[in-house]
Structure 1
C-alpha cells in the first residue's frame, strides 16, 4: 500500500487538504490544459498502462493476507493441520515477495517515465529561454528562472512518481479493502463507517495547526537562505567589508536564526501532537472493533480469525482514505507546477532565426556595416531610444560613438549584435539585413567586448573555449597572445588550467578584460564592437588593454563606444549621439575644428579619467 503525499507536502503527513492560494492564482492566470499534459506522457502510454496494472495487481494481492490469516487462526492452528499451516504460511510469504517485486518494478517504470518527461521539459525550457531577448532577463529575477528549471520541474517528478501512482494505489486499496471488510463482517464494516469520519476530521484538524506553523517555518528558512546567499557571496562579502556592514549583518542573521529556532520547536511540537492524535485514532478504532466483536448482541458468532483479519484490513484503510480526500490539493498543486513551466514555454521569441535564412559565408564575409533609418524603442518605453540613424561603416574601417549617458550609444551597438531588433529601419552586414541571418551567423560575424566582463567559475582554458568549443590548445594560446595576456597566464602555477574564481575575482579588471578579448578573438569576428571596454580601468591598465585592442582591431570593422576621447581619436569616423540621434559625424580633426558638441567635449576635459565623465556629459547635454 502506498501513502498519498502531494508534491508540496499535502496529505496526512505534510498538512491538511487545503489548496494553496498561489497555486489557484497561477492556474487562473495561465491554465494548464490536461490535453497538453497528457501529450507529454503519450509516448509512454504503454509503460503507464503496465504501471496501472502493477498497482492494481499489488493492491489486490495484498488483500489476500487477511483471508490467509483468518484460515490460519480458525483452521490450521486449532486443528494442528501442519500441511495447511505450511501452505498458508508459504502463501503469506509469497504474497509479501510478489507484492514487493511488483512494487519495485512499478517504481522503476514510473520513475523512468517521469524522469524522461522531466528531461524533455528541462531541455525544452532551457533551450527556449536561451532564445529569449535581453528584455526578459532584465525584468525577471535570476532566482525565479532557476526555481522553475529545478524546483518546479523536480516537483513535477513527484507528481508522476508519487502523486499519480499513489492516487491509483489508494483508490484500488480503498475499494478492495472496503469490499473485503464487507465480505468478512458487515456488522464491523458498519462500525468503521461510523467511526472513520470523526477520526479523519480530528486528524485533519491537528494537521491544519501543523501546516500553519510549517508554512511560517518554511518562510523563515527561505529568508535565512536568502541572507546567506546575499551576504556570503564574493560580491556580498566585498560589499559588507567596504561598507563596514559585518556587525549589522550578523545581528540580522542572529534575529532570523532565533525566529527559526522558535518556529522549529513549535513545528516539532505540532508534529508530535499530530502523531499523538494518529496514535489515539489507530488505537481507538481497533479497541471499538474488539468491543463490538465481544458483545453477544453484536458479535454475530464471529470467529477469532475473522476478527483479526478484519482489524488488519481496517488498519490499511485509514491512510489511503485520507490520501484520496487530498486528491483536490494534489491535482491543484500538480497543475500549478505544469502551469509555471508551460508559462515559460509559451513565451514568445522576439528575436529568432528567420524562416528562410540567408547564408553568409564566413570565409567571404567582409564586415561592412550599414544602418538605414534605424529607430528603436524599448518595450514599455515612452520615447524612442534611437531615431533616424543612418551610418555607413565600410569593411575594415572604424566607427566611434560618443555622447552623453543615455544618448543611445550602447543601444545602437546592441542592434549591430542583434541583441535587439530595430523597431524601424534595418541594420545590414555586407548588404544583408541581420533579421535575415541565422543568430549563429550573427554571433560568428559580430564580436562584443564590453565594460562588464563575465568569466565563468572555471579554468582559463574553459573560459576561452566557451567561445568555440572545438578550438585547439594552440588556437587558444594564439588568441591569448594576440590579446597580450598569454605571458600572464603562462606565469601562473597552473597556467591555462588556473580556475578564475567566482566572476573572475581572482584577476584584476585589466586582466579579465584581456581574457575576454582573447575569448572573443577565438570566434574571429569580422565586426568588433567595443562597448566602453576600457572605461572602468585605470590609466595604466587602460593603455595595456587599448594596446591589445589596437592589435585585435587591425583589419576588422570596429565600432567603439567610449567616454575617453583618447581611445577614439584615430577612428575613421566619429558619430556624436544625443537623445537617440546623430548630431555630428566626421573624423576627429573635422569635428574638433567644427566647434560643435564634439569640440565642447574636448574643451570640457573629455580625455580625463572616467571619474570626470559627469562634467563631460553635462557639457554634451547643454552644448
Structure 2
C-alpha cells in the first residue's frame, strides 16, 4: 500500500518555516533590491528633517547674532524638497511592493493548485472539497495582505527605528534613556501576545474551512435538492448559523488579542514627551546645559514622535507575522504532501497510435487504507492499525486481449470499480502488476496513459459551461465538424440541436439541465473525441431507464468498435454479448468465460443472472445481447426508438 504523510507542527518544531516563506521572494531579488534602496533613501531623508529642524531653531531663527533669513530660506527649501522627493519615492515604493506581494501570492496559489491537481484520487476521496477550497481561498487570502505589505513595512520601519535611535542618542543619551526604558518589557509582552494570536488564527482558519465545506455541500444543486426532499432546510440553516457564530467569536478574539497591549504602548509613547521635558529641565540646569538647546529639544521630540509610528507598526507587524505563520503552515502542509502516484525517473511514453490495448492483471493485491495518511494534517496522525488496508482485490490475475469486450460482474463490494481504477493508474497496486501492452503501468507516464485509456462512469461530471466546451475538454482543438460527428455517433446530436442555443447551450452545474441519459451520451461523445485505445465503462447504464439505456448502449457500440473495452455492470443485460466475462466476489476472480459458458457452469454468474431475470426473459435478454453487437439490427432498433 502506498501512503503519504504530511508534516504537521508548530513554529517551535518547524524551524525552516520562516526560511520557506522568505524563499517565496527569491525569484524577485531585483525588485526587492529596488524596494530596499527606496526604503533606505526615504528613511535617510526622513532622519534629515529633525536635524534641519535643529538648525532652523539654533542657527537661523535664534542665532546669537539674530535671525539669518537666507539660511532659514535654504533650510525650509530643503525641507520642502525632502518632503516632495520622499512622497514620489513612496508612490513608486508602494507600486513595487504591491506588485511584488501579489506576484508572490499568485505564484503560491498557482503552485498550490498545480500540486493539488497532481495529488492522487485517494486524497480527494478522504478530504472535503470545501476544505481544499478553503486552503486555496481563505488561507492564501489571509496571508496576502501580510506578504504584500509586511516585507517593505518591516524593512522600512527597522531602518527608521534604527536611524531614529542613533540620532536620538547623538542628540542626548540622557533623554534617550527615558524614551527607551520600557522597550524591553514591550518586546517580551509582544512575543507572548503573538503566541496567543497565532493559535487563535489557526482556529479561525479551521473554522473558515468548516464553513466553506458546509457552503459547498449545502448550496450545491445536489445538496439543495437533498435538503428539500427531506425537509432539512432548517437543519442546514442552523448548522451554518452555529459555525458562523463560532467564526464571528474567533474573528473578534483575533482582532482584540493584543489591543490592550498596544493601548499601553501608545500611552507610553504619548506620555514620554512630558517626561523628556521634565528631564530636560533637570539636565539643562547642570554643566551640560549647552547640550540641550531649544533646537536640540525640538529635534529630539520630533525624532521621538517619528519613532512612535514605526515602533508600534513593528510590534503590530510582528503579531501579523505570527498570525500569517499559522496560515503558511497550513498551506505548506498541503505543499508537503507527496502524491502517491507519480512518474518514476525514466518513465516511458506509450504512443496511442501504436498501442495494441492488451490489459493484464498479474497477482494483484490492492487495498484502501482505513484512514488516509495523506488527509489534511489538522488532527492526530492515524495509528498503525488504521494504516492497515482492507483488501479490495486479492491475488487477481486476468488478461484481456486487444479489441475484446470484457465484462466484469459481481455483487457490490466485489472489487469491480477498484479494478477499473488500477488500469489508468488512479491508484497503484500494493503487490503484483497491472500491464498495458505488456508494460507495467507504473513504468509509463501518466500523461500517455490518459491518452490511451478513456473512461465513462455512471456519475457523469459536466462543467457549468456550454455543451461545446464540455465536449472539447477531451480534445481542445476539435473542430465544430468533429464535435458534430462525435455527437452523432453518441446519438445526442439531434437532442443538442433541439436546444435553442444548440452546442452553445449552458448545461448548468454538473449538467443538471440534462437528463441522465443525455449526460451519459455527452460523456460518450467526449470519449469518442478523445479516441482512446482502451475504454473503461463503469456502471455506464445502471441508473438509466430502458429507453435511455438502449440509446446509450447503441452509442457505446460505436465507441467500443475496434477498442479494448472493460465494462463493469450490475445490470447483466449490458454485458450478455461480451467476448469474455469475469465474475468477481470478495476481491477475487471466481470464474470467467462467455455468457453461455458461465450459465452452464451454474456458478456465481448464473446465480446473479437468475436473480435479475426470470426464466421467461432469458431468451429475450440473450437476443438483446446479440442485437447489441449486430450493426444491422442496431440500426433498425435506432429507427424504432426514434
TM range, smaller chain: 0.7 to 0.9
Aligned to 2:93, which of 106, 120, 124?
106
Residues in 2 aligned to 1:432 and 1:214: alpha-carbon distance in whole angstroms: 50
Q: Distance in 1 between matches of 2:14 and 2:253?
A: 36
| Map of 1:611 onto structure 2 | none
- Counterpart of 2:231? 244
* 1:67 counterpart (30, 48, 51): 51
Distance 1:349 1:230, change over 3 A: closer
Distance 1:475 1:429, change over 3 A: same
Alignment partners' CA distance in 1, 2:609 and 2:410: 12
Partner residue of 2:220 out of 233, 237, 240? 233
Worse overlay, 383-392 or 116-125: 116-125
CA 1:567–1:218: 2 relative to 1, 3 Å: closer
Q: 2:469 aligns with which of 462, 465, 476?
A: 462
Residue 372 of structure 2 is matched in structure 1 by none
Q: Between 422-431 and 150-159, report the one with greater CA deviation.
A: 150-159
SS state at 1:448 partner: strand
* 1:186 to 2:173 alignment: yes
Alignment-derived partner of residue 522 in structure 2: 515
Q: Deviation digits for residues 313-370 of structure 1, max 9, x if unmatched?
A: 1122234334555787566556555554444444334323343344433233332323
* Farther-moved stretch of structure 1 (587-596 vs 558-567): 587-596
Q: Specify whether residues 355 and 245 from structure 1 end up closer, same or farther in structure 2 by C-alpha distance, changes over 3 A only.
A: same
Partner of 1:442: 449
Residue 167 (str. 1) matches residue 151 (str. 2): no
1:430 pairs with one of 430, 434, 437? 437
- Inter-partner Cα distance in structure 2 for 1:188 and 1:435: 73
Match of 2:512 among 505, 517, 520: 505
| Structure 1: distance between partners of 2:436 and 2:312 | 66
Contact 1:199 1:281 in 2 (8 A): no
Superposition map of 1:202-213 within 5 A: none
Higher deviation after alignment, 126-135 or 584-593: 126-135
Report if aligned partners of 1:366, 1:526 keep a CA contact under 8 Å in 2. Answer: yes
* Distance of aligned partners of 1:254 and 1:448 in 2 relative to their CA distance in 1, 3 Å threshold: closer
Alignment check: 8 A CA contact 2:356 2:437 kept: yes
Give the alignment partner of residue 40 of structure 2, picking from 27, 46, 56: 56
Task: Describe the superposition over 1:188-241 as per-residue Cα deviations: whole angstroms up to 9, x where unpaired.
Answer: 223212365678899999999999999998887776666544433323221221
- Residue pairs, 1:262-277, within 5 angstroms: none
Question: How many angstroms does 1:583 deviate by?
Answer: 0.8
Instruction: Report if aligned partners of 2:130, 2:216 keep a CA contact under 8 Å in 1.
Output: no
8 Å CA contact 1:370–1:392 kept in 2: the answer is yes
Tell me the TM-score normalized by structure 2: 0.79
**How many angstroms does 1:62 deviate by?**
0.6
Shift, 1:156, TM fit: 5.5
Q: Which moved more, 1:535-544 or 1:23-32?
A: 23-32
1:489 to 483, 496, 502: 496
Q: 3-state DSSP class of the match of 2:9?
A: helix
Q: Does structure 2 retain, via aligned residues, the 8 Å contact 1:221–1:260?
A: yes
1:25 aligned residue: 9
Partners in 2 of 1:558 and 1:28 — Cα distance? Answer: 55
| Comparing 151-160 and 420-429, the one that deviates more | 151-160
Secondary structure in 2 matching 1:384: strand
2:350–2:449 Cα contact (<8 Å) kept: no
Identify the residue that residue 136 of structure 1 maps to in structure 2: 123
Secondary structure of 1:522 counterpart = helix
Deviates more, 1:574-583 or 1:495-504: 495-504
Structure 2 Cα separation of the partners of residues 297 and 221 of structure 1: 62
Corresponding residue number in structure 2 for 1:94: 81
Match of 1:543 in 2: 550
SS in 2 for 1:377: strand
Q: Residue 366 of structure 2 corresponds to which residue in structure 1? A: 376
Once residues 479 and 173 of structure 1 are traced to their aligned partners in structure 2, the CA distance between those partners, rounded to angstroms, is: 68
* Cα contact 1:563–1:606 (8 A) shared by 2: no
Post-superposition Cα deviations, 1:568-603, rounded to whole Å, max 9, x if no partner, equal: 111111111011111111111111122111111122
**RMSD over aligned Cα atoms:** 3.8
Distance 1:408 1:212 in 2: 44
Distance 1:86 1:537, change over 3 A: farther
CA contact (8 A) 2:364 2:395 kept: yes
Q: CA deviation at 1:409?
A: 0.5
For the residue of structure 2 that corresponds to 1:63, the secondary structure is: helix
Alpha-carbon distance between aligned partners in 1 of 2:603 and 2:173, rounded to the nearest angstrom:
101
Change over 3 Å in CA distance of 1:576–1:217 after alignment to 2? closer
Q: Cα 1:46–1:412, aligned 2, differ >3 Å: closer, same or farther?
A: same
SS in 1 for 2:273: helix
Residue of structure 2 in register with 1:565 after alignment:
572
Q: Do residues 320 (structure 1) and 273 (structure 2) align?
A: no
Report how far residue 438 of structure 1 moved: 2.1
SS across alignment from 2:87:
helix
SS at 2:156's partner residue? helix
What pairs with 1:68-83 in structure 2 (closer than 5 Å)?
68-77=52-61, 81-83=68-70
The separation in 2 between residues aligned to 1:514 and 1:208, in whole angstroms, is 57
Kept in 2, the 8 Å contact 1:207–1:274? The answer is: no
Q: Which residue of 1 aligns with 2:379?
A: none
Alignment partner of 1:317: what SS? helix
Give distance in 2, aligned partners of 1:561 and 1:546.
13
8 Å contact from structure 1 (residues 182, 189) kept in 2 = yes
Compute the TM-score of the two structures, normalised by the length of structure 1.
0.82
CA distance in 2: counterparts of 1:429 and 1:607, whole angstroms? 39
Distance 1:108 1:132, change over 3 A: same
* 1:376–1:387 CA contact under 8 A, matched in 2: yes
- Shift, 1:281, TM fit: 4.0
Report if the CA contact (8 A) 1:358-1:437 is conserved. yes
